A and B are shown apart, each in its own frame.
Chain A
């Protein structure tokens, strides 16, 4: 199963909104997103496409249309500079989690 497709990099100025796409997700609503700062473990920021764990900023939001999920970061801040990964099940009879290729967000 191939990795889900994400743009390699996205950038924006402080205060702007950016969107990261994730192509190839399965038909159900089991998409999650993770933020990873350099040298740190990934952190869950979105699950079940649109839900935010307690403590995660409301500036992070998720959506999905067909086989493409999206993560939007509103009011971009310097601390949002990190790598972002989507994750979905591969679909089909075999249990298999598939991650996206990863997107580096740069705050200009």
Chain B
């Protein structure tokens, strides 16, 4: 059973960059596996951020201009970078492993990131 763990700063200043890493254990970054970031503002619903696999990525169009998701196969990690953040980006951020097709079979515990000065 794969395990995922998010890490990164819990506080980011407005207009700054939110950077998170997801460490994966019990699994490997094979060519057929997709990895995803999802977020949940406090008290609200889930929002898909984007996904990555070895040779490509897909981003939520509403975040695409500020978003980069990257993969570090050698360290079994994938990362999220979101620029020009505002208070609206305050959320619990989850990383997840995709099942095939089109679902999220394993989730990290989540990390709360607050955007505030």
Contact = CB atoms under 8 A, between A and B. Distances in A.
B46 A99 contact: yes
A94 B105 CA distance: 22
B99 interface: yes
A23 to B, nearest CB: 15
Interface of A: 3, 30, 32, 34, 40-44, 47-48, 53, 85, 87-89, 94-102
A44 B106 CA distance: 8
A40 B108 CA distance: 10
A41 B108 contact: yes
B66 interface: no
Contacts of B29: none
Nearest to B48: A97
23 contacts: A30-B101, A30-B102, A32-B102, A32-B103, A41-B109, A41-B110, A42-B94, A44-B99, A44-B105, A47-B102, A47-B103, A47-B105, A48-B102, A53-B105, A87-B46, A87-B48, A87-B104, A89-B102, A95-B51, A97-B36, A97-B48, A97-B102, A99-B47
